[in-house]
Structure 1
Amino acid sequence: MGSLADNSRYATAGANADSKEAPTPEIAALHARAVRAERLAGHQAVLVGMLAELLASNSLEGALDAFAGALQSKFGCDRVAIALVAGNDLSLSAVSQQAVLEASSSEARLLVDAMCEACAQESIVCWPPTSDALGVLVAHRALAGRRLTGAICSVPLYVNQELVGAFLLERRDQRAFPVQTLERLSVCLAPLLTLHKKADRGWLRVFGSSLNTHLGRYLGNERPGMRALCILAGLLVVGSLTMTMRWQIVAPAELLSNERRLITAPQNGFVSDMLVIAGDRVTEGQVIARLDRREMQLEAASRDSDIAMADAEFRAAMASYDRQATGIARARLAQARARREGVEQRLNRSDLTSPIDGLVIAADAARTSGTAVSRGETLFEIAPNADFEVHVLVDEADVYDVFEGQTGMLSLRAMPGEGLSIVVESVYPVAEANEGMNRFRVQATLSEPVGKLRPGQSGVVRLDAGRMSVMGVMTRRLNRALAELWWRLVG
């Protein structure tokens, strides 16, 4: 307002000068330059004042109130309204000298409609309209109402060609608003209002805005390939959450014989022959090893001579009709015969035979001819041909999903292309430490006998554990690890 008064003062002075004497061209040029400089200084003073008002506020609400008050005082307005973009529409945010805003009132709607009209035309709109006004100003006419006098000016606010808000000035007289000053003001102050708006957001809105910025950067219209890839990834995620599949417990397994027979040394002695080795199939009664019989044969000959001597003594006692001597001789004869029977049994047991038809699963390869053995020492281990059981070592994280009667498939390393059906029989209650992990032994049986199996074969078992989403199967162990970590940290 001060600049307008000064302009009129300079104009009056110029008129008085004209009445006295005509100014020279140099004086006229200096006068015009002074007028332009004074006008520019006035614009700058207004801008600096507005910037100071906005920068002095720490919150968006305070900045809007200060901005509305400064506009009202600088331009002699009766009412100033400010609206900011919220979503896709303008929302009334501040009205000068009015603490409570009723956004649903008819007056508020008229103010917002008038500012929206200026934003739609992307230019400053004044009422009453000038001769070069664009379009029909319906909203401004409705806001002016039946008042015969009054002026309205709506100014949109843009930052980087993006609409951020608008403000509206009203006064009762029809003095024209300085459109150029308001245009410069909108260009300078719109970024400050945007910064205040961003600083006043909560953490959730800040995160959402940052996410939208990054998504727009990497998934904008200029990157159709990346957008297609993200859409495909989203479809895969949704499909993995909705589609179910059979999931299985995978664990190492070993094939063991259901029954084992141990062949031990019947007496102290020496090995004469080892007729079979581990892996050989044997039949019931087949000789699998022999012990050295020479010492036992010598002992048998000695016992035979003892029997002959005892028999001669017995006959002599009977010939003498000495009943006492006869009884003693008879006892010695029985004793000699008993000792000879013991030697005979030992000779018979020197040939070790297989008690069953089966497979030799253990044999001491170090036993060669002449090796000493002790009574009760294990020499062979024999398993039946077709009686096998499967021992599965299940991780402790999966053991609660294993139950009796559960079915699965066994794949042996020696038979990778064949799957053997198994049924869980029992779960051992005690864990075993294996390769730094706790595992539970699960006993299972083969559904159908297979003749070419051998004890000790190893492989992998897959136990059917029901159905689960594809994502659940893929992240099952990760979910359990995170749950365990959460329990340790939070409880």
Structure 2
Amino acid sequence: MSNSVVKIWFSYAFQHLGDVVDACLFEVESNNNSFVLSGSTLAEFSGLKVVHDTVHAVVKRRKSVVTVMPTNHITEKKTASNSEPSGITADNSKHYLVTTPLIIKKEIIGVACFEFQHNDTTQTSDYLGKVETTVAWLRCLSQLKPGAGSQKSELALKITATALSQSQSGEAYMAVASQLASFLQCKRVSMGFVNNHDVHLHTLSNTSHDVTRQNIIKSIEVAMLEAVDQRETIVYPPHPGSYYTTQAHDALIRKHSGEFICSVPLIIEGKVTGAVMFERQGEGNDFDDKTIELCEQLAELFSPILHYRHLHDRPVLEKMKDTCGRIFSNILGTDYLGFKFVVSLFIGLFVFAFYLQWEYKVTAGASLRGAIERVITSPEEGFIKDASARPGDLVNAGDTLATLDDRDLKLEVLKWSGKHKQVSKEYRKALAIHDLSKIGILRSQLSQAEAQMKILNLKLNRTVIKTPISAVIVSGDYTRELGSPVERGQVLYKVSPLENYNVVLNVNESDISLIKVGLQGELTLSAAAESTFELEIVKITPVLTAENGINYFQVEATLLSTPKFLRPGMQGIAKIEVGKHRMLWIITHKMIDWVRLKLWSWW
């Protein structure tokens, strides 16, 4: 964009912004990317430190900045200029400095500073809005082709300002049409919209009673439609070599005494939204190539502004209808097919999961243990002499598991055996001499010795520890503890029969409410992952255990069939069937419960 266009914009903005006291413009130098003063209403204003500080801040942030002018800077500026700037009515009035970057095509071409004098009817945010609106005018001017003269740039700026400054879109259309008619010396400028593949006239400049007749309006609409259908600028009379259709334009001129017409289609983002028609009369007022190019540039400049203002000012119901139609068109159209396929697949899966009923199974860790466990204890105090049994060994009833050291007991047996012989000998002598008193005493001693020998023989028999039933050894291993002492009643072994097993399940506390006695499920063991075994819940214990920070309830179940290879202590995974639920509930209920707990803890 040329410097002259920027200066025209700056001058026009200073004149049309209300409550502006002073302003200055800094433009970037192409050779060193530094900013130099390009224009200022007051030299002292552009030299203030606060101005330069805000300019650097704006360049760094690439955003507009609003600051309050310090009182000493206002006084300094007035003192330096030896006069009070225009628009200042009181020394104690508050001034605002609005500094904005001029960004065209993502590049900063300059920085503009505007000093506003605050009044009670204006809010601070209004100043920033006014400045950003004027920057929008500059962006519109940037759409002009290189080489456009200052007069054309000023016209473009005026038209852009007019399109943006009107309060209603209808007023903006009429004001733009009137300015175009005045500058281009047109008898009439008409604007129309495309609606349902047809053109409807919206605005006529220089409107009088005779041009509002329906037949004239219809002829203008048909001529505009002719340009819209061909998506090209139509000039009548056509230039030599032109191959565009101009029948509707010819009919308009013949029926309504026209002379020269230029119809330009309004194209926004590749879509024709309407058309603008320029009509001239008089000798020498035909549309030459430069005028046609100017009409096309101006139409390209103001058409997006007026179009979007028109869309914004529509009734709410019409906006809703248009939004729904656009959404429906986007859904059924051919754009974004991959995204639509993914969304459709997601919706289909959601509906499928919402209505599909599926058997929900509670998963829990499981371990096997015998239905009956027999404890084998030490019958006497002593020391382990021999132990050959280990956990996991299969034993039959009467098999020896371990033996205790019996040397002390054997010595006791020899002791009482000798005493028994001695007392027997003395007893026979007493019988021979008929010593009745001695016979009674010796008889008591013989009975005592016989009793002690029986007790010692029983203890010797009990030093051999045997299993009472055919079972598997669950715990107890003294093969590496020979000679270790044991107490009377001390548990040496635990054995469990192979016929019946219980399954102990660790059910998470969040699922325990779904578990009931009598429910059935399946068990898969780590030792036989390819097989499943049916089980049935028989007991729910109110015992809570913690493992890895998670609380579990122990639930007991029985196997409906017992394979021979099962052993107590085997681990696996059990799944308990608790009934049918919606697939969506199965997938999301744990997450929903977690969210509920978190929300409850927060509120």
TM range (shorter): 0.5 to 0.7
Question: What CA distance in whole angstroms lies between the structure 2 residues aligned with 1:395 and 1:385?
Answer: 29
Task: Please tell me the residue identity of whatever aligns with 2:163.
Answer: L
Q: Deviations over 1:322-342 (max 9, x none)?
A: 4xx777666555544443333
2:345 matches 1:235: yes
Question: What CA distance in whole angstroms lies between the structure 2 residues aligned with 1:42 and 1:399?
Answer: 84
Could you tell me which residue of structure 2 aligns to residue 393 of structure 1? 506
Give the SS at the match of 1:75. helix
Question: What CA distance in whole angstroms lies between the structure 2 residues aligned with 1:384 and 1:473?
Answer: 40
Q: How far off is 1:269 after superposition?
A: 0.9
2:446 matches 1:446: no
Q: Deviations over 1:164-195 (max 9, x none)?
A: 45568999xxxx99894654322111233467
Residues 84 and 427 of structure 1, relative CA distance in 2, 3 Å threshold: farther
Could you tell me which residue of structure 1 aligns to residue 468 of structure 2? 355
Could you tell me which residue of structure 1 aligns to residue 548 of structure 2? 435
Q: How far off is 1:444 after superposition?
A: 1.6
Q: How far off is 1:397 after superposition?
A: 3.8
Q: Is the 8 A contact 2:502 2:558 kept in 1?
A: yes
Aligned length: 419
Question: What CA distance in whole angstroms lies between the structure 2 residues aligned with 1:488 and 1:147?
Answer: 80
Residues 96 and 327 of structure 1, relative CA distance in 2, 3 Å threshold: farther
Q: Is the 8 A contact 1:81 1:92 kept in 2?
A: no
Task: Please tell me the residue identity of whatever aligns with 1:362.
Answer: S
Could you tell me which residue of structure 1 aligns to residue 172 of structure 2? 66
1:286 to 399, 403, 407: 399
Task: Please tell me the residue identity of whatever aligns with 1:157.
Answer: L
Question: What CA distance in whole angstroms lies between the structure 2 residues aligned with 1:229 and 1:49?
Answer: 44
2:264 matches 1:158: no
- Alignment of structure 1 residues 337-376 onto 2, 5 Å: 337-376=450-489
Q: How far off is 1:196 after superposition?
A: 5.9
Q: How far off is 1:392 after superposition?
A: 2.2
Q: Is the 8 A contact 1:91 1:112 kept in 2?
A: no
Could you tell me which residue of structure 2 aligns to residue 52 of structure 1? 161
Q: Is the 8 A contact 1:424 1:444 kept in 2?
A: yes
Task: Please tell me the residue identity of whatever aligns with 1:48.
Answer: L
Larger deviation, residues 243-252 vs 276-285: 243-252
Task: Please tell me the residue identity of whatever aligns with 1:51.
Answer: T
Question: What CA distance in whole angstroms lies between the structure 1 residues aligned with 2:486 and 2:545?
Answer: 34
Q: How far off is 1:236 after superposition?
A: 6.5
Residues 369 and 121 of structure 1, relative CA distance in 2, 3 Å threshold: closer
Could you tell me which residue of structure 2 aligns to residue 415 of structure 1? 528
Identity of aligned residues (%): 24
- Alignment of structure 1 residues 247-262 onto 2, 5 Å: 247-262=360-375
Identify the structure with bigger relative contact order (alpha carbons < 8 Å, sequence gap 6+).
Answer: 1
Q: Is the 8 A contact 1:424 1:445 kept in 2?
A: yes
Q: How far off is 1:454 after superposition?
A: 0.7
Question: What CA distance in whole angstroms lies between the structure 2 residues aligned with 1:350 and 1:260?
Answer: 22
Question: What CA distance in whole angstroms lies between the structure 1 residues aligned with 2:515 and 2:493?
Answer: 35
Give the SS at the match of 2:297. helix
Could you tell me which residue of structure 2 aligns to residue 424 of structure 1? 537
Q: TM-score, normalised by structure 1?
A: 0.65
Question: What CA distance in whole angstroms lies between the structure 2 residues aligned with 1:177 and 1:251?
Answer: 91
Question: What CA distance in whole angstroms lies between the structure 2 residues aligned with 1:330 and 1:177?
Answer: 162
Larger deviation, residues 440-449 vs 427-436: 427-436
Q: Is the 8 A contact 1:252 1:460 kept in 2?
A: yes
Task: Please tell me the residue identity of whatever aligns with 2:468.
Answer: P
Question: What CA distance in whole angstroms lies between the structure 2 residues aligned with 1:230 and 1:370?
Answer: 80
- Alignment of structure 1 residues 60-459 onto 2, 5 Å: 62=168, 65-72=171-178, 75=181, 119-120=228-229, 122=231, 134=246, 156-165=265-274, 180=292, 182-193=295-306, 227=337, 231=341, 234-235=344-345, 238-239=348-349, 241-242=351-352, 244=356, 245-307=358-420, 312=426, 316=430, 319-322=434-437, 333-459=446-572
Question: What CA distance in whole angstroms lies between the structure 1 residues aligned with 2:598 and 2:313?
Answer: 36
Question: What CA distance in whole angstroms lies between the structure 2 residues aligned with 1:392 and 1:110?
Answer: 86
Q: Deviations over 1:267-326 (max 9, x none)?
A: 11122222322222112222222212221121123233445566656994994444xx77
Give the SS at the match of 1:449. coil
Q: TM-score, normalised by structure 2?
A: 0.54
Residues 91 and 469 of structure 1, relative CA distance in 2, 3 Å threshold: farther
Question: What CA distance in whole angstroms lies between the structure 2 residues aligned with 1:96 and 1:84?
Answer: 13
Question: What CA distance in whole angstroms lies between the structure 1 residues aligned with 2:478 and 2:219?
Answer: 104
- Mark the runs of 5 or more structure 1 residues left unpaired by the alignment: 1-38, 98-105
Question: What CA distance in whole angstroms lies between the structure 2 residues aligned with 1:452 and 1:360?
Answer: 15
Q: Is the 8 A contact 1:407 1:464 kept in 2?
A: yes
Give the SS at the match of 2:301. helix
Question: What CA distance in whole angstroms lies between the structure 2 residues aligned with 1:360 and 1:167?
Answer: 101
